[in-house]
Amino acid sequence: MKNIKIYIIAFLGIWMMTGCGESVIDLEPKDKFTIDVALSTVEGLEGGIYGVYAIGQGFCMSDELGNYKMLQTDIIMAGTHLVDQANLRAIFFADAQFNGVNANVKSLWDNLYIGINRANLIIEKGDEFLGSDMKDSEKARVNNVLGQALFFRAYYHYSLLSRWGNIILMTQTSLDPSVKIELVSKDVVLPVIIADLEKAIGLLPDAKTVNSVGRVSKGTARHLLAKMYLEIEDWTKAAETADAVINDAQYKLLDDLNAIFSLEEQSNSELIFSWQFSESDINNPQRISQHWYPLYDRIVGVDRSFEQGARPWSRFQPNEYYWSLFEENDKRLDAYHHRFWYYDSESEELPAGVSIGDMVKVEDGFTTSDNVPIERAITPTTAKYDENSDYLGREVNESSGYRNIIVYRLAETYVVAAEAYMRSGDNGKALEYLNALRQRAGVADLTSINQDVLLEEHARELGHEGHRYEMLKRLGLLMERVKAHNSDMAEYVQDYHINWPISATQVNLTGVPQNEGYNE
């Protein structure tokens, strides 16, 4: 047969079909492992799985995409300097530049498919290994890698589904060029995601064996699976699966709220999975921490310091609606947030009438050094991504850091379980789980529960951790609540924004239809 090359630019980038049906996936230079190594030994397969993890970790390393899961919700507002990043700003506001040619939209779509493709490569080769003669010890290692790859294939598919609504389901590396590429809805994708996670749970070791919040375990897969059961409204399985995580002895809610996001306790018992960073790898820091801090150091009399938040880069802040949800005695107000700034300058003259240690107040009436309104320079913000010390090696003027980024923690499992029990009619059990979170926060128990109560507790406990968008969209409330509470988006948002625009490159090369509203 005559050799041919068919180039399909999709998912990973370039798929090269050569010879008699033989397909070779060009993973270089983006991948950190070579095909030859990944396909030849169990050790290579174990090394290859790091390339699957690298996609999710890589988003955290991006100024443009690190915080994408926190955007377009009802509890966020723009910072004063979001304007510095045009493509990110377009996504935040859903303005006219939020379209299929937006570089961030394209990058996110493409890279999620790169992650899926890498997972598929591992799954296919792992299945081949299991079909050969292997020692039991080697089989266990392959199953572990397969479980991780199945988890990430599910995780990345869901990341796409939750933003785009209609996606290309990709469960193999080789595409028959005669088969038309089509978009499918969640009714097609969710059963595949659930099947992957159920299989992954059977292959993965438990959390105690893994003994690392940076590696996927049965608990990680169960947590995501419980959320997927909510997606298909199987309340019984959602509750059972969440309970399996909650009852795992490796996990426990922390009594000390300050310890959950502590730099010194980044492997605490409340954490289920985190993207890992290290000061020893200075070329690969995360770039999320600084985006949440207002430009406090522009205030005359306030120096940039670790105590005040280190380098600020004011892209986002919690909005007024978010703050309205808290009771004054809620311990989460101080444990999860940075709310106050203080005069501390030793390098410039303090304004008249204030002393070192005085709190900065809007009514002080002082201006900032570059005309940022003082109320915006001291806007309270989340401290969940703080790296406000040099403990991990970050310097005070650096715009990046080395703390881990939490993906899943047990408090979310409690909220998932509460919803599952509420919807199945067991309000007592639902309240038990929500009140466990409230009791450690020092606020009174809830005596009744409904969807609004659940959403408010979800915001208080999990605000700005990347779960809000998915939940509101699942409940059909995203556009309604954004219009009601997100004043920055309300001017631009349309109902069709419920699904993001598909990359124009993808549309042009494959012929898939653009999502509604983005063809103009």
Q: So what's the pLDDT on residue 367?
A: 64
Torsion of CA 199, 200, 204, 207, to 10 degrees: -120
Neighbours of 407 (CB within 10 A): 23
d(CA 418, CA 450): 10
Q: How would you write the pLDDT of the chain (520 residues) with one tens digit per residue?
A: 222 222 222 323 322 222 222 222 233 334 444 565 556 789 989 999 999 999 999 999 999 999 999 999 999 999 999 988 999 999 999 999 999 999 999 999 999 999 999 999 999 999 988 888 888 899 999 999 999 999 999 999 999 999 999 999 999 987 777 778 899 999 999 999 999 999 999 999 999 999 999 999 999 999 999 999 999 999 999 999 999 999 999 999 999 999 999 999 999 999 999 999 998 888 899 999 889 999 999 998 999 999 999 999 999 999 999 999 999 999 999 999 999 999 999 888 888 889 999 999 988 776 676 778 889 999 999 999 999 888 898 899 998 999 999 999 999 999 999 999 999 999 999 999 999 999 999 999 999 999 999 999 999 999 999 999 999 999 999 999 999 999 999 999 999 999 999 999 999 988 999 999 997 5
Identify the helix (H) or strand (E) that includes residue 111: helix 103-130
Q: So what's the pLDDT on residue 39?
A: 61
Residues β-bridged to residue 317: 77
d(CA 152, CA 99): 27
Residues β-bridged to residue 25: 15
Phi and psi angles of residue 31, each rounded to the nearest 5 degrees, phi first: -85, 150
CB 337 within 8 A of CB 459: no
Tell if the pTM clears 0.95, that is, is over it: no
Task: Name the DSSP class of 389.
Answer: S
d(CA 167, CA 160): 7
d(CA 226, CA 194): 9
Which domains can be identified in the chain, with CATH numbers? 6-204 (1.25.40.890), 283-403 (no CATH)
Q: DSSP for 348-368, please give it.
A: SPPPTT--TTPBP-GGG-PPB
Q: Is 247 exposed, middle or buried (0-12, 13-18, 19+ CB in 10 A)?
A: exposed
Q: DSSP for 375-395, please give it.
A: HHHT--EE-TT---SSTTS--
CB 368 within 8 A of CB 377: yes
What angle (nearest 5°) sits at the alpha carbon of residue 270, between those of residues 264 and 272?
A: 100
Q: So what's the pLDDT on residue 10?
A: 30
Instruction: Please report how the helices 427-440 and 451-462 are oriented relative to each other, as an axis angle in degrees rounded to 10.
Output: 30
Return all residues near 127 (Cβ < 8 A) that are at least 6 apart.
146
